[in-house]
Amino acid sequence: MKKLLFSSLMLIGPLVYGQNKDKLLHAIDIDAIRETKLTGYIGLAPTVMSKPAASTQVTAFLKKFPGKKYFTFPESRENSIRLLDSLPEKWTNHSAADLVSFKGVAQPGEYYVFQVGVYGAGQPLKNIQVRFSALNNDKGQSIKEVTCFNSGGISFKGEKFSKSLHLDPHNVLPLWFGVDVPENYKGLYKGTVEIKPEGLPATLIHISIDVKGNIIANHGYNDETKLSRLAWLNTKVAMDDGLTNGFKQVDRAQKNISILGRTIKLSDQGLPLDIQTFFDKNNELILPKGEPIIAAPIRFIIEKDGRELPLAAGTLKFEDHFPGSTHWETKLTNGDISVTIKGRADYDGFIGYSAVVTASKDISIDDIRLQVPMRPEKATYMMGLDKEGGFSPKDWRWKWDVLEKHQDEVWMGAVNGGLKLKLKGKNYQRQLVNLYYPFGPLHEPESWGNGHKGGVDIYEQEKTVMIKAYSGERTLKKGETYQFDAEFLVTPFKLINKDIQFNDRYYHSDIDTTSNTIRLAQEHGANIINIHHKKDIYPFLDYPMANDNVPDLKAFIDSSHTKGIKTKLYYTTREISVNAPEIWAMRALGDEIIYPGPGMATRTLVNPNGVHPWLGQNLKKDFIPGWVATFTSGKYKGRQDLSILTRPDSRLNNFFLGGLEWMCKELNIDGIYMDDLALDRETMQRTRKILERDRPGAKIDMHTWNHYNKYAKWASSLNLYMDMLPYIDHLWVGEARDYDRSSDYWLIEVSGVPFGLSSQMLNKGGNPWRGMVFGITNRLGWFKAKTPEYIWKFWDDYHIEKKQMIGFWNDEIPVKTDNKKTEATIYKGKDEVIVALANWTAEPQKCKLKIDWKALGLSPDQVTAEIPEIKEFQDGRSINVEKEINLEGEKGFLIVIKRKQ
């Protein structure tokens, strides 16, 4: 969520199984959206393609072509086809020759696009085939790179695909074509496009493109009106096995796999026999000796007649994709049952499995399950499956209910070692996130869910904590396949980068104008500016490359660089602004990119009183309205930016990456700010590679709204986005977050520490005293929050980034508090120690510090202790750290213990 009007509501969550037993009240600040209460104009004028023909005009047109079943209407890129349910008036004046010829003008090096509208006169058109020739000139030159975006392309996974095209009667299908013109080509190029619906004659359209003028810059990508950016839909940029910074390559010796700070040993069945972590308890060092995460091998079990069937393993075959991953495959058999196991391990800690079960005859079984036996000390905390992040329960029972629960995964672990398990099937579809989840929920896996028979039990068993994912009884049918997919993430992903944690200081403003932004950032100590959308230099959601704002945005970035300040842009996937000129071409692709939904009948927190009429007038149906941003000041004052939801795991991912590469090269951005993203892990890898290769030193920070409420259906945000975390530099854990929750909740849900990350607080600025227990502050510039600049100055004065952070979660911490309602973390240097002490209650508390002076390398009679003055945080005074300390409710101290000189 973006800019908010905080209206406090109390939600009582109807949680099944675990959480509902506690009858917890979730007091959250619901994001009642300020902009939706305002009005404004959209600023997009109708075009000649917006006006439908009158029925009399359509009838007169059809009479000119008696018996013709369908029509083709070549159209230039300047006139994006908008009407899908009627003929544009413009077309009713076409002659027979107009229907089968197109003439266009392009420049050398341009990615040139055009359209062909297909209209079904009175019957449905099925299986419409689209074929096209190369474009040739009279000198023997040939343009062979021609694409129809509707009929196929390159998927977000880099795979070629094709689509079947169909059209209802009296509707229009806009076919969009792309022609990649070489830089050294000039002249008149001719070719054909053939359109042939099943059972009907083909129509041959003659294409003529006159290539002339100077070589166009950057294939035409610099000018939105050319629509050349549609080429990004099929980009394969950064799709390789390369690593991202901060990781080491995958190494494999037989069945032993090594990645950064972790090792995985495989059994003959291809499943983990052992997983070890080498991270220290603060995630600051990688140690020579590892600690086991699992207590025994992970097992895939088939049970029949009350007993486990022994599964004989075949040969384990490997295929290495170094440096990034290694893949393997084997086959398990028992009589008439076989299981094909395919696995892979990636450099970031991902371990993916597909177990495909088949039977040569019908066989009734009791259960198919996966058992993950965790070491108790590596199952201290839990997040997921109806359990908010925090200490693990002794016993937990969970069942599938995807309509009411945004849940299919669980993480268990300690700070320096853990495991996330996500369950999937062959019917997996990435869900919508945030408050839109009910419009695009998870699919219950047909394998694991088994018609609501499946679930997950977590319980203590013989010095282990067992995660048992079961599916229940069923009959395996001869010839059918049952796909049990499972994904593991081994945490933490990386070492906490203390330079990022303490030296990346964000200015992130919520106002519409930017004239004072650089000055304010510089004056208050920020070195990174995040430019949100709904700004005078970046007006439209997820489309920072609009012609109208690019010059001002580029000038702002250049100016910030002269001041030594980085500038990052809001850029994510989930929604797209209606101001993106490519939206009409994306809509022409059916439901591939634009997520289908109830259209004008949609009601959400963003649209509580109905959908903006512009969307109904122009899109009409099959959409979900998204964010609404209303400008209250600046260049775009009075204007509204509307958006619609997009489909995850689509070619929009490629478009997103193409746009990112363009911004790196043309705008010199210093990274991106991602907001409740809808990306897959591989696209996130590509995102990181583009930034590192084109803009070394670029950063990614990620914001997430608290999904644990009735709107987002009870998901833990860091669980939801955990596979993104290896590629994130900073978290900004956001709205609807209750900072009065317990310290174990903070540790798992807010801090980022168990995953090798640092974080920041959002909701009303968080709690600075508790934040310092995790080394985090709020963000400068965001409304309703105190400035963090005075804590930043304290960091600088005491060189905190050079000290070792030892958290309260580490049982070896040399400074502990004797009051369980308080927590202490230290930042340890050779001659100086900072103690961050915080009260986790609203009432005053007293505590004494239990100090291991030897472990600190200090002597109590050779030190001084003080509470230094920090504006808006604490008053300065000396303190005796061996005496009782009084803490105000919800507050604390930063205490400096220093060796006497």
The CATH number given to whatever domain includes residue 764 is 3.20.20.70
Give 326-338 as a DSSP string. EEEEEEEEETTEE
Strand 251-253: give its sheet, edge to edge.
251-253, 256-259, 262-266, 272-279, 286-292
Decide if 235 is inside a domain: no
pLDDT of amino acid 27: 42
CATH code, domain carrying 868: 2.60.40.1180
> What number is the average pLDDT over the span 540-556?
98
Q: Which residues share a beta bridge with 373?
A: 466
Q: Are residues 474 and 554 in the same domain?
A: no
Q: How far is CA 615 from CA 44, 123, 435, in A?
A: 11, 28, 20
How many domains are contained in the chain? 4
Same domain, 883 and 782: no
| Among the listed residues 559, 503, 496, 491, the one whose alpha carbon sits nearest the alpha carbon of residue 531 | 559
**In contact, 838 and 773? CB cutoff 8 Å:** yes
Q: How confident is the model at residue 608 (pLDDT cuts 50, 70, 90)?
A: confident
The answer to whether residue 582 sits within a structural domain is no
Residue 361 to residues 333, 437, 451, 472, 479: CA-CA distances in angstroms? 14, 39, 22, 19, 8
> Are 659 and 539 found together in one domain?
yes
Task: Judge whether residue 23 has pLDDT over 70.
Answer: no
Whether 569 is in a domain gets the answer yes
pLDDT category at 151 given cuts 50, 70, 90 is very high
Decide if 764 contacts 706 (C-beta within 8 A): no
Omega before 323 cis (within 30°)?
Answer: yes
- As a whole-number percent, the residues of the chain with pLDDT over 70 amount to 96
User: Is 95 found in the same domain as 127?
Assistant: yes
- Count of C-beta atoms within a 10 Å radius of residue 877: 10
Residue type at position 304: K
Is the distance from CB of 494 to CB of 247 less than 8 angstroms?
Answer: yes
18-32, 64-78, 562-576, 606-620, range with the lowest pLDDT: 18-32
CA pair distance 154, 786, nearest whole angstrom: 47
Measured CA to CA, the distance from residue 155 to residue 50 in angstroms comes to 31
> Do residues 694 and 769 share a domain?
yes
Confidence of residue 34 (pLDDT cuts 50, 70, 90): low
Predicted confidence at residue 19, as pLDDT, reads 35
Calculate what percentage of the chain has a pLDDT beyond 90: 93
* Tens-digit pLDDT profile for residues 742-798: 999 999 999 999 999 999 999 888 999 999 999 999 999 987 788 999 999 999 999
More confident residue, 364 or 23: 364
How many other CB atoms sit within 10 Å of the CB of residue 748? 28
Work out the average pLDDT over 798-816: 98
Q: Does pLDDT of 29 surpass 50?
A: no
Assigned token pair, 901: 């000189």
Q: Tokens standing for 370?
A: 């996966």
Q: Determine the pLDDT at residue 12.
A: 25
The domain that contains 318 carries what CATH number? Answer: 2.70.98.90
pLDDT, the chain, mean? 94
Which residue from 191, 22, 19, 174 is spatially nearest to 102, judged by alpha carbons?
191
Same domain, 476 and 560: no
Whether residues 782 and 828 fall in one domain = no
Q: How far is Cα 187 from Cα 173, in angstroms, rounded to an integer?
A: 31
Q: Is residue 261 part of a domain?
A: yes
Question: Residue 692 pLDDT more than 60?
Answer: yes
pLDDT in tens, 449-480: 999 999 999 999 989 999 999 999 999 999 99
Question: Binning pLDDT at 50, 70 and 90, where does residue 38 land?
Answer: low
> Domain end: 797, 826, 842, which one?
797
Q: Are 658 and 232 in contact (CB under 8 A)?
A: yes
Residue 360 and residue 483 in one domain: yes
21 CB contacts (<8 Å, ≥6 apart)?
none
Task: Answer whether residue 644 shows pLDDT above 90.
Answer: yes
Mean pLDDT computed over 724-729: 98
Please tell me the distance from the alpha carbon of residue 532 to that of residue 646, in angstroms, as a whole number: 20
* 564 DSSP assignment: T
Judged against a pLDDT cut of 60, whether residue 20 lies above it is answered with no
**What is the structure's pLDDT at 1?**
44
Angstrom distances, CA of residue 277 to CA of 241, 255, 343, 364, 417: 24, 17, 20, 40, 6
Characterize 756-769 residue by residue with b for buried, 16 or more Cβ atoms within 10 angstroms of its Cβ, and e for exposed.
bbbbbbbbbbbbbb
In a domain, 604, yes or no: no
Per 3-state DSSP, the chain is made up of helix, strand and coil in percentages (nearest 5) of 20, 35, 45
Tokens of 122: 């009175």
Same domain, 482 and 360: yes
Query: Closest Cα partner for 645 from 845, 467, 458, 437?
Result: 437
The Cα 482–Cα 171 span in angstroms is 39
The tens digit of pLDDT for each residue in 112-139 reads 999 999 999 989 999 999 999 999 999 9
223 and 357, same domain (yes or no): no
Task: Give the burial string for 255-290 (b: 16+ CB within 10 Å, else e).
Answer: eebbbbbbbbebbbbbbbbbbbbbbbbbbbebeeeb
- The yes-or-no verdict on residue 879 having pLDDT over 90 is yes
Tell whether the torsion through CA atoms of 733, 441, 427 and 274 is positive or negative.
positive
CA distance 477 to 363: 7
401 SS3 class: coil
Task: Answer yes or no: do 440 and 468 share one domain.
Answer: yes
pLDDT score of 15 more than 70? no
pLDDT tens-digit series, residues 844-867: 999 999 999 999 999 999 999 999
- How is residue 215 annotated by DSSP? P
Predicted confidence at residue 737, as pLDDT, reads 87
**DSSP assignment letter at 535:** B
What is the arrangement of strands in the sheet containing 395-399, beginning at the earlier edge strand? 307-308, 299-304, 367-374, 464-470, 455-461, 395-399
Question: Domain range spanning residue 824?
Answer: 805-899
Domain end point (choices 228, 260, 279): 228
Given pLDDT bands bounded at 50, 70 and 90, which one contains residue 197? very high
- 3 state SS for 281-319: CCCCCEEEEEEECECCCCEEEEEECCEECCCEECCCEEE
| Sheet with 146-148: strands ordered across | 70-75, 111-120, 172-180, 146-148
Q: How far is CA 147 from CA 153, 414, 591, 642, in A?
A: 8, 51, 19, 30
Indicate whether 412 pLDDT > 90. Answer: yes
pLDDT of amino acid 32: 39
CA dist., res. 112 & res. 226, Å (int): 7
Rounded to whole angstroms, the Cα distance separating 746 from 122 reads: 62
Question: Per DSSP, what are the bridge partners of residue 253?
Answer: 256
Q: How confident is the model at residue 434 (pLDDT cuts 50, 70, 90)?
A: very high
Mean pLDDT value of segment 620-627: 96
Q: Are 549 and 519 in contact (CB under 8 A)?
A: no
Separation of alpha carbons 859 and 877, rounded Å: 21
Two tokens, residue 627? 């964010």
Q: Report if residue 354 sits inside a domain.
A: yes
- What is the SS3 assignment for 687-745? HHHHHHHHCCCCEEEEEECCCCCCCCCCCCHHHHCHHHHHHCCEEEECCCCCCCCCHHH
Query: 830 lies in a domain?
Result: yes
Region class of 191: left (phi > 0), else alpha (psi between -120 and 50), else beta: beta
Strand, coil or helix: 642 = strand
H or E element, residue 521: helix 517-523
User: In angstroms, how far is the first alpha carbon of the chain from the final one?
Assistant: 51
Residue 67 lies in a domain: yes
Which amino acid, residue 65? F
Tokens for 66, please give them: 């008696």
CA 513 to chain centre: 27
Beta bridge partners of 468: 371, 457
- List of residues 6+ apart from 259 with CB closer than 8 A: 247, 248, 250, 251, 345, 346, 347, 348, 349, 490
β-bridge mates for residue 4, sequence order: 33
**Within this chain, do residues 362 and 442 fall inside the same structural domain, yes or no?**
yes
Which residue in 352, 371, 682, 293 sits closest to 486, CA to CA? 352
This prediction's pTM: 0.95
Q: How far apart are alpha carbons 702 and 545 in whole angstroms?
A: 21
Extract the tokens encoding 13.
Answer: 């969550």
The answer to whether residue 417 scores a pLDDT higher than 80 is yes
Secondary structure of 190-202 in HEC code, one letter for each residue: EEEEEEECCCCCC
Q: Judge whether 125 and 172 are in contact, CB under 8 Å.
A: no
Which of 446, 464, 491 is at the close of a domain?
491
Indicate the range of 228-242, 597-611, 691-705 predicted with least confidence: 597-611
